[in-house]
Amino acid sequence: MDLKVAIVGSRGVGKFHAQWYAYEGCEVVAFVASRPETLAENEKALKSVVPNFNGNGYADLRKMFELEKPDVVSICSPHHLHAEHSFVAIDFGVHILCEKPLVWFGQDKLDEAIEQSEKVVNAAKERGLKFAVNTQYVAAVSHLLEIFTKQGLPQKPSKVALTMEAKTRERDKSGVNLWIDLAPHPLSVLLALFPKAELDLTDAVFEEGEDYLVAHFALKNEGEQIPVSIKVRRHSGNLERSVLWEDFKVEFLPFVGDDGVYRIRIKWEGGEQVVEDFMQVSIRKFVRSVLGEGEPLCDGAMGLKQMEWLVGTVRKYLSTRRW
């Protein structure tokens, strides 16, 4: 069965959702723009990665669902619209892959973000719909564990540090907004590496500059404390995306192969490995879950845990700031 897919917000990361859906054999039938005057711009962005797209564009979400009847939708709209758009999709019985963060309304509405996240995930579950969050770096965890084992590293490290950098843009450049935009990736990796762990922010410390934020905290994992550092940054230079396990660093380097397909080069001292693009893995696992073949990479339950950790770290950060 070829799934019919719609993309809500196709100018940014949404176009890459569309690209991988098409690569996985799905039919991208429609996209939704924020307003009529941006339809052409959205279509141009989508066609830059899916040249044979011949679906329709809409500025009305409900009308798109009524007319196109997609099986699944990727919600790549601005953070504050994720919940609203998810509820509409659920009303129409459509499976959802939501971009991170699951829900976000600003630093003054943290409780509301948690409440709405729970409502969205529970509503999808009650309708028997698949709901997943696209924190694709979870796909790195199986490779990491294999590398750590081959290197003879301990299963329970004495420290872990994760770095997630992205290119500079006009928004989400510092502070809470930077953290909310980039931290879901390293937090989701931690959740996958330590599925039984709990966040310990008692002695959390934060460092920040105009383009970065670093959080130092701990995980309580099976009776042990593991010191953790997460650095998020936006800049225009060479980007680092890495995991440091003890003193052993593994880096993730995206590249385009000779066949035009994105892949990830995983590098460490003395070795490297080329694997599928992590978003491709996320899209494929979501598609297969809709078809009844397994579970998404980051399902609703993991998405809620991710939100708990995300909001928890924001609360702690705000409590330590000197205004």
Confidence of residue 1 (pLDDT cuts 50, 70, 90): low
Average pLDDT over residues 271-282: 97
What is the model's pLDDT at position 323? Answer: 52
What is the model's pLDDT at position 321? Answer: 81
Average pLDDT over residues 135-161: 96
C-alpha 181/C-alpha 203 separation (Å) is: 24
160-167: strand order across its sheet = 198-208, 212-221, 224-235, 160-167, 241-245, 248-256, 262-268, 271-276
pTM of the predicted protein model: 0.95
Domains of the chain plus CATH, in order, are 4-133 (3.40.50.720), 136-278+299-320 (3.30.360.10)
